[in-house]
Amino acid sequence: MVCMSTVSKENYLKAIFNYNVNIGESATTKKIAEELSVSNAAITDMAKKLSEEGLISYEKYKGMELTTEGEKIALNVVRRHRLWELFLVKVLGLNWNEVHEEAEKLEHQTSEFLIDRIDEFLGYPEFDPHGHPIPSKNGTLPKTPKIIPLYEAEKGSTYEFVRVNDRDSELINYLMKVGLLLNTEMFIEDKLKFDESTMVTYNGKTISLSKKIAESIYVKLLKK
């Protein structure tokens, strides 16, 4: 059984990793507090402890950065999480909107032996069901094409939907409802200034996506 202190440490490091690597932003105490639904004071206390353990570099008001050791732990947690998501989809037949919360629990309870066997069983996959890269056992990430939020896509260009923010099941439920799935090609019909929505056409239909949705979907350019 993994103790809560270990779970908390792993969750903090994973959240910092998400901002440092996936989003490319500094992990401020405010952002991590929102991510983990805890107080700023709790984040500050944990930041001090992680800094003392040599897992992050932290300066008040300047955000947090993972050290080499901290990144190693974060990558291991991310690997377990994303492999479990794919296993739950590929082997147990769960939908991609059902696996994030389950993987959040399993990522802390899985031995290295078991996760290595799952990795082998799945054929050493490079991406999870939401399009996020899966770190290898040695901590390297697969090469990925240049992607941008749909919100930044250019009107009149064609893109492929390659990644989605998997933390909000309501978002993924909506995407399933409208049939907008990974690897779907979409044409940017228009971008409306008055509400910052994006009009896209895919599979023969056109819909309007809000700014919030368009910021949570990631695409790669196919052609202008």
pLDDT of residue 7: 61
- The CA distance from 66 to 56, in Å, is 4
pLDDT of residue 3: 39
Number of domains within the chain: 3
Do β-strands 148-149 and 217-223 pair in parallel, antiparallel, or remain unpaired?
antiparallel
Domain, as residue range, for 101: 77-143
Averaged pLDDT for residues 193-214: 96
CATH number of the domain that residue 130 is part of: 1.10.10.10
Does residue 72 fall inside a structural domain?
no
Does residue 31 fall inside a structural domain?
yes
| Residue 62 sits in the same domain as residue 17 | yes
- Answer whether residue 114 shows pLDDT above 60: yes
| Residue 84 sits in the same domain as residue 116 | yes
| Residue 87 sits in the same domain as residue 129 | yes
115, 143, 171: which is the final residue of a domain? 143
* 23: confidence class by pLDDT, cuts 50, 70, 90: low
66, 93, 112: which is the final residue of a domain? 66
CATH number of the domain that residue 165 is part of: 2.30.30.90
Does residue 172 fall inside a structural domain?
yes
| Residue 156 sits in the same domain as residue 208 | yes
Beta-bridge partner residues of 57: 65
Does residue 125 fall inside a structural domain?
yes
91, 118, 143: which is the final residue of a domain? 143
pTM for the full model? 0.85
- Answer whether residue 2 shows pLDDT above 50: no
pLDDT of residue 20: 75
- Answer whether residue 24 shows pLDDT above 70: no
> What does each C-alpha distance from 82 to 79, 98, 149, 224 come to in angstroms?
5, 13, 21, 32
pLDDT of residue 15: 87
Most confident of 25-29, 105-109, 151-155: 151-155
Averaged pLDDT for residues 183-210: 96
- Answer whether residue 12 shows pLDDT above 80: yes
| Residue 38 sits in the same domain as residue 17 | yes
* 19: confidence class by pLDDT, cuts 50, 70, 90: confident
Does residue 71 fall inside a structural domain?
no
Residue 167, burial from CB neighbour count under 10 angstroms (0-12, 13-18, 19+): middle
- The CA distance from 162 to 133, in Å, is 11
pLDDT of residue 99: 92
> What does each C-alpha distance from 222 to 104, 132, 145, 180, 208 come to in angstroms?
33, 19, 11, 17, 20
Does residue 86 fall inside a structural domain?
yes
- Answer whether residue 78 shows pLDDT above 80: yes
